[in-house]
């Protein structure tokens, strides 16, 4: 049977570091509040006027992943790009990545599943590989949140959380290996779509309102989050979907070598760690440095785990995510 193996991991983070104290001058917030409620100490925000775009950061992460995998861009036969902050309303960012990398005319698919986007993308890649359709798939998660945040006190409940960044993996078909993606598990609950949302622009409310300047006070162009409600759902679903993956593979929580949860809030990650009774060396968190980078957070954390020798051949790696939609997902991987 064909297995999908992650053979290369890459990342890219913009240079510009924004500390919690930097935010104190923009809005009514404090380093203490942000650290205590989220664990975040700093994040990266692309400098205004920079040429960086979501697809360009994804391209840099992809180049790093290709280097790590020791394969050429010409070996890639499909692209899956996850983002909630695309360069354009349309077309998607996958085709821009294809253009940037100067890859031949292969397929490029965009995934719009927010914080669960990377695992959804990985799952798509896994299915294409297992069906025999493709051999090397580039999976990217990239976000530039900073341009679209309400950086006034009105937006403080959301804006302090999000950061910019990109991560990428190369997923390869392997017939003679017992390592690789064991399973992925995807869920959604659309009845809570409006609890974590950027409402506009939309097909109900086009951009003309901004151009006309009629709606100066309209906050619907900024992310809205019912933080407490999202938090409560997140802790529940994270545990549920991790247990689903373990049960499906006849494994137990003791079998997890490394858990990487989507980096939404350090309190959420710690809560899950406690529920699963995992020691610190079995969990990787980096939200302190980067904030919530949505679709990019898992591949960035994966890259750092590898750089820090947290993962070795044969380990059981568990990935899990929860976010807007609501959507949530997990993946279990034998490294």
Active site residues: 115, 262, 292
* C-beta of 173 vs 259, nearer to ligand ACO: 259
Any contact of residue 227 with ligand ACO (CB under 6 A)?
Answer: yes
**Helices in the chain by DSSP H: which ranges?**
20-24, 31-38, 54-69, 93-100, 117-130, 156-159, 208-212, 227-248, 266-276, 287-290, 297-307
* C-beta of 179 vs 226, nearer to ligand ACO: 226
DSSP class of 47: P
Residues 6+ apart with CB under 8 A from 52: 14, 46, 144
On the 0-12 / 13-18 / 19+ scale of CB atoms within 10 A, 199 is middle
Site for ligand ACO in 306-335 (CB under 6 A): 322-324
Site for ligand ACO in 17-56 (CB under 6 A): 29, 33-34, 37-38
Is residue 124 within 8 Å of 111, Cβ to Cβ? yes
* C-beta of 163 vs 323, nearer to ligand ACO: 323
Any contact of residue 285 with ligand ACO (CB under 6 A)?
Answer: no
Beta bridge partners of 317: 258, 333
Residue with nearest beta carbon to ligand ACO: 323
Q: How far is the CB of 119 from ligand ACO (least distance, A)?
A: 12
Distance CA 158, CA 177 (A): 43
Site for ligand ACO in 175-204 (CB under 6 A): 196
Taking alpha carbons only, the member of 331, 317, 58, 257 closest to residue 169 is 58
Q: Which of 6, 46, 108, 115 binds ligand ACO (CB under 6 A)?
A: 115
Site for ligand ACO in 228-267 (CB under 6 A): 228, 230-231, 234, 264-265
Q: Which of 111, 168, 241, 268 binds ligand ACO (CB under 6 A)?
A: 268
Distance CA 206, CA 26 (A): 28
Q: Which of 292, 297, 305, 330 binds ligand ACO (CB under 6 A)?
A: 292
Any contact of residue 296 with ligand ACO (CB under 6 A)?
Answer: no
Distance CA 81, CA 90 (A): 13
Binding site for ligand ACO (CB under 6 A): 29, 33-34, 37-38, 114-115, 156-157, 160, 196, 227-228, 230-231, 234, 264-265, 268, 292, 294, 322-324
């Amino acid at each position: 049977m064909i297995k999908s193996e992650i053979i290369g991991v890459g990342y890219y983070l913009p240079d510009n570091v924004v500390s919690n104290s930097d935010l104190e001058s923009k809005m009514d917030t404090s380093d203490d509040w942000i650290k205590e409620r989220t664990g975040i100490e700093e994040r990266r925000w692309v400098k205004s006027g920079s040429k960086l775009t979501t697809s360009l950061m994804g391209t840099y992460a992809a180049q790093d992943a290709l280097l790590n995998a020791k394969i050429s861009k010409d070996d890639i036969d499909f692209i899956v790009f996850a983002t909630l902050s695309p360069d354009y309303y349309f077309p998607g960012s996958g085709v821009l990545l294809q253009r940037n990398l100067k890859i031949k005319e292969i397929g490029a698919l965009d995934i719009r599943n927010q914080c669960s986007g990377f695992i959804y993308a990985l799952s798509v890649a896994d299915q294409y590989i297992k069906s025999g359709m493709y051999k090397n798939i580039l999976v990217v998660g990239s976000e530039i949140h900073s341009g679209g945040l309400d950086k006034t006190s009105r937006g403080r409940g959301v804006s302090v959380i999000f950061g910019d960044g990109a991560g990428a993996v190369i997923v390869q078909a392997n017939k003679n290996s017992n390592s690789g993606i064991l399973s992925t598990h995807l869920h959604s609950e659309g009845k809570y779509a409006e609890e974590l949302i950027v409402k506009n622009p939309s097909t109900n409310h086009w951009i003309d309102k901004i151009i006309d300047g009629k709606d100066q006070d309209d906050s619907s162009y900024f992310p809205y989050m019912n933080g407490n409600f999202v938090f409560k759902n997140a802790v529940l679903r994270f545990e549920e979907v991790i247990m689903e993956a373990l049960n499906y593979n006849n494994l137990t929580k003791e079998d997890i070598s490394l858990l990487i949860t989507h980096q939404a809030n350090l309190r959420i990650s710690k809560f899950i760690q406690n529920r699963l009774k995992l020691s610190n060396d079995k969990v990787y968190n980096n939200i302190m440095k980067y904030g919530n980078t949505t679709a990019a957070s898992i591949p960035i954390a994966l890259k750092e785990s590898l750089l820090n020798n947290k993962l070795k051949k044969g380990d059981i790696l568990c990935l899990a995510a929860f976010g807007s939609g609501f959507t949530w997902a997990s993946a279990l991987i034998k490294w």
